[in-house]
Structure 1
């Protein structure tokens, strides 16, 4: 609109000038000013139909009550709460950064939270759009979900794998999925225009690289036995293995795998069984047995085990930030990862349930308190100060953060 007003002003000014040469010269200057501006038919860089681009991350929490089936989205910018379709018997809640996947017995309901980011490497775009229910995948409870800009891969409890067109999901349609054939019971991670398929091969300890349609498989040289958990980072995709972790990365169309061993003998019950981290961060956390936590620095290729006592949830924002551990007694503790020493404590709740979680972004952490029907926002850089508390009219048994 400003461009049209400026063009009109320039044209009227030129019309008052005497002499054809002056008129032509003025029109040329007007054209020169607007050569690099988008026309009415051009789309600005980063344009997404139906979405508003913003200057900051649009964080939203998806919250579900396992007993009543209530599902709500809490906007952390506006503090608005949006109710959605009830999902009875919610047993799990996952996210890929924009969509939430609510597992319930033999089905999975999908919610578009309308908050996401697009990382172009040297800059990032943040978007917000309408919150809406997308649909339900019947007959399967999804155990793994991972996405890239083109494909959303879902792995189910019965060992099946489904590939959904990401653009159709973003358009609000739950179209028929393609089944990934010839894959084992592991997970599928879309990465660099390919699919990483775990638990492959005769020993179910290989990682295959396939094209986006699921064909043309090649097997990486390094194995990953008893794979458990995965995380997508800026350094590559990390898989948890019996003897440590496997980092799969890509360069110029070629894929390589590097083992990050624990460096010591680790019993089965003390292995990292699933990773938690800030989206894109290269510092990962995982529980280790009943009384400790693993921290994996992917950049340094190093594991650190911290004795924490019994915990129900762990996370960290990454390099320079503390490890956050929620104890069974409801106490949140911050640890210095280098020294392994506790630096701060905060009693948040009477006790933490088994589904309690810690979601972390660049400045705040969020902890769901089902018993008190609250979500606590924690400033982890200020001695675990409670920055905000969000009271709710239902029990937030499950929680994930989107917009990342």
Structure 2
């Protein structure tokens, strides 16, 4: 139940093109018009997905799902991609805005799993960027590129490309029709390739061992992590930025359109089965300056996010949210949220994680079976709710 007061989020609807149509996917209840946009959260657990109202943290739905699943926001205000054994399915979160002239009409309905599907065996990364959503399937090497507006119409139409060899990779489609995609195979990953709209090679960099993860910064600049640094993609130019350590792995990154600085993790023990890092990186994509910043605790790959004005947000194993200025790397706020915790040995195991939406950080704590909402500007806890299950992953939509 909710144990703190609910709060108002400054939620925004989808843009005019995307929000002119409501999804034709079936819903289990008739739409109800609301006074304002209704943001919602999705939290996965072993056997399903909980959907919560992001303002009150009250449960809206409990949707069954088989196997270990992962969640990825479509960044269109309404949908979440669910990674299942056989590909990506689209979850309609049942909240959307329809633009009508100079104003919008806001609606809610019951969340439902749609029939829209993408990819195949071993679905991997999902990247919303430049009004496109790029889905990479590790097991087959398929790259699906969908448009958010088509999802809102209930249409699973996508363009496709298949990499030469399947691998655990990622791809990013850009507004000019080009595609940036990782290169490698099941044994090793070497770097990235830029392909034009006809999928002819424009540029390549093979100096990024273990390439993993991506982020987008201001001005549409992209980054990809390496075991010894980072690749920065500006247009069709690729710059390799080395780590200060011979093995300095940046495997997970978080970007923001409000700043050229990308937040990344940082690991230096090549032989560790699980390294619990106590440093992170801030990389200026304009200059290529990579800064390694000490951190007062450890954190996991589910711990890094971006906050208001592009601030860097990290959920530490000390149970606190740490907020950093991305330019100066100084800590501007520390907010105690949950009890101290330890990252589990298996990455699939439930652990605390954070999702930021409209300046509010939502922290899910599987041990306490709770979710807490924190205003990152004021540092105040806005709401807290008990959950019926221990949750694993967390994302949200704005409505």
Calculate the TM-score normalised by the size of structure 1: 0.70
Q: Closer, same or farther in 2 for the Cα pair 1:301/1:219, shift >3 Å? A: closer
Over residues 41-61 of structure 1, what are the superposed CA-to-partner deviations in whole Å (9 max), with x where a residue is unaligned?
Answer: xxx877612289999876432
Contact 2:171 2:180 in 1 (8 A): yes
Residue 180 (1) aligns with residue 162 (2): yes
Work out the CA distance in 2 between the residues paired with 1:248 and 1:277.
13
Work out the CA distance in 2 between the residues paired with 1:342 and 1:171.
42
Contact 1:231 1:238 in 2 (8 A): yes
Over residues 263-311 of structure 1, what are the superposed CA-to-partner deviations in whole Å (9 max), with x where a residue is unaligned?
Answer: x2342xx421111345765443232232222223335543222222322
User: 1:76: which partner in 2?
Assistant: 54
Q: Give 2:389's match in structure 1, choosing from 384, 394, 401.
A: 394
Work out the CA distance in 2 between the residues paired with 1:127 and 1:226.
44
Q: Give 1:288's match in structure 2, choosing from 260, 263, 266.
A: 266
Contact 1:94 1:400 in 2 (8 A): yes
User: 1:310: which partner in 2?
Assistant: 298
User: 2:183: which partner in 1?
Assistant: 199
User: 1:16: which partner in 2?
Assistant: none
Contact 1:183 1:197 in 2 (8 A): no
Residue 61 (1) aligns with residue 49 (2): no
Contact 1:50 1:129 in 2 (8 A): no
Unaligned runs of 5+ in 1: 1-43, 119-124
Instruction: Tell me: higher relative CO, structure 1 or 2? Use CA pairs within 8 A at least 6 residues apart.
Output: 2
The secondary structure found in structure 1 opposite 2:254 is coil
Work out the CA distance in 2 between the residues paired with 1:115 and 1:307.
40
Over residues 221-274 of structure 1, what are the superposed CA-to-partner deviations in whole Å (9 max), with x where a residue is unaligned?
Answer: 685443111012332221113442222233xxxx22233444x2342xx42111
The secondary structure found in structure 1 opposite 2:151 is helix
The secondary structure found in structure 2 opposite 1:226 is coil
Cα RMSD for the two superposed structures: 4.0
User: 2:203: which partner in 1?
Assistant: 219
Residues 5-154 of structure 1 aligned to structure 2 (within 5 Å): 48-50=20-22, 59-66=39-46, 69-77=47-55, 79=57, 81-83=59-61, 85-98=63-76, 99-113=79-93, 131-135=111-115, 136=117, 140-148=121-129, 152-154=133-135
Q: Quote how far apart the aligned CAs of 1:183 are.
A: 5.4
Paired residues in the alignment total: 344
Calculate the TM-score normalised by the size of structure 2: 0.70
Please tell me whether Structure 1 or Structure 2 has the larger radius of gyration of its CA atoms.
1
User: 1:208: which partner in 2?
Assistant: 193
Q: Give 2:141's match in structure 1, choosing from 160, 170, 174.
A: 160
Higher helix share: 1
Unaligned runs of 5+ in 2: 1-15, 24-30, 99-103, 268-276, 345-350
The secondary structure found in structure 2 opposite 1:158 is coil
